[in-house]
Amino acid sequence: MDRRSFLRNSALGGTAAAATSLAAPAIAQGKEVLTMVTTWPRGLAGVWDSVERFSNNVADITDGSLTIDAKGAGELVGALEVFDAVTAGQADMYHGADYYFVGQHPAFAYFAAVPFGMTAPETMVWYYGKGGKALHHELGEIFGLTSFLAGQTGAQGGGWFRKEVASVDDFQGLKFRMPGLGGQALAKLGTSVQVLPGGEIYQALSTGALDGTEWIGPWSDEKLGLQEVCGHYYPAGFHEPGAALSIAVNSERFNGLSKAHQRAIEVAAADAHQHNYALFMSNNAPALTRLLNAGVQEHEFTDDVWDAFGQASLEVLNGFTDDEIFAKIHESAQSAMRETAGWAVRTDSVYTAQRTRVLSQM
């Protein structure tokens, strides 16, 4: 698809920055540097680890001939400005969660997370084995981006609340932070949805600008201090069952790299994707134990609330299926999820349930 034609004809195109010619590549003594902007403050637990893992991988694989100069949110551009900065050539690449950019195109959500979508293993099957990566590239190229998954948080928590959620009615008028299509689903329940980058969440809760929030999971949430301002936590959520993180390189810049450097970026991103998943999974359970021991109250949403989440999510997703590339990506992801889950529920789900039952008797 021709990018200019897409942006001219799409109602979403008005928010996408037109690509401009890139500044001369940063090359010194035969070494090339890519400037990366990110949606994360420097050092933010888990997500910044993915930035560092990817950057270190690139330097190691290329023996230092290609390096990444990673900038935290606000150091060069704001957290939610990274997409436009890279498409405009003001930076070479970004690292972030692509659902922040559903305003540019709603299909970007599939390369982070969609409500009632894929778990982390299901995402990996789709992306690497069933065409997801090619679709990521196809969508990115409309905007002059070459994209790869480069992080994975696993299932994200349902969120932090000042008061226990007793029914669907409790979402009416609630000031809650949730980006992406999950946030759009909550809005259908009457929630006043806010889209804030991670570095702004704590202050918004402290001042009362928010009544609650989701962030990532117990480990990252504890590091952010959310337990200091909200006492009720829901570990299971509908909105991000397996949230991926991405890097996206300005395509003109990427195509100007050597094949070896292009391959280094691809391989480094894939390694960061799987390593980040292990990092979150290994830290979440101990963090949850600490939070509960400190007095945080743990809850589960009722079936009625889950049903409302599901209905609202279906309305949001179906609302974009008249867009050709959204429909293509949606069907690809749904098909892969159905196939993968069809096997997993007969194997992994049965095994883990039986393992829990058997070991509890020993």
What does the pLDDT read at residue 267? 98
pLDDT at position 17 over 90: no
Give, in order, the Cα–Cα distances in Å from 220 to each of 1, 47, 48, 97, 176: 39, 9, 11, 15, 18
Half-sphere exposure of 256 (CA within 13 A, CB side): 17
What would the pLDDT profile of 337-360 be if each residue is shown by its tens digit?
999 999 999 999 999 999 999 999
The answer on pLDDT for 12 being more than 90 is: no
Number of domains in the chain: 1
Return the pLDDT at 25.
Answer: 59
For 2, residues 6+ apart whose C-beta sits below 8 A from its C-beta are: none
pLDDT confidence tier of residue 9, bands split at 50, 70 and 90: very low
Query: In angstroms, rounded to a whole number, what is the distance separating the alpha carbons of residues 102 and 232?
Result: 29
At 123, the amino acid letter reads: T
- Asked whether the predicted pLDDT for residue 3 surpasses 50, the reply is no
Compute the residue count for the chain: 362
The C-alpha atoms of residue 67 and residue 55 are separated, in whole angstroms, by: 7
The CATH number given to whatever domain includes residue 86 is 3.40.190.170
pLDDT at 346: 95
Q: Is pLDDT at 16 greater than 50 in this prediction?
A: no
Instruction: Say yes or no to pLDDT of 100 above 80.
Output: yes
Per-residue model confidence (pLDDT) at position 28: 53
- Determine the average pLDDT of the residues in 44-63: 98
Q: What is the pTM of this model?
A: 0.90
| 181-205 pLDDT, tens digit each | 999 999 999 999 999 999 999 999 9
Range of the domain at 37: 1-362
| pLDDT band, very low/low/confident/very high, at 26 (cuts 50, 70, 90) | low
Q: What is the pLDDT of residue 330?
A: 98
pLDDT value at 152 more than 80: yes
| Whole-number pLDDT of residue 2 | 43
Q: Are 268 and 95 in contact (CB under 8 A)?
A: no
The pLDDT > 70 percentage for the chain reads 92
Task: Tell me the mean pLDDT in the region 72-84.
Answer: 97
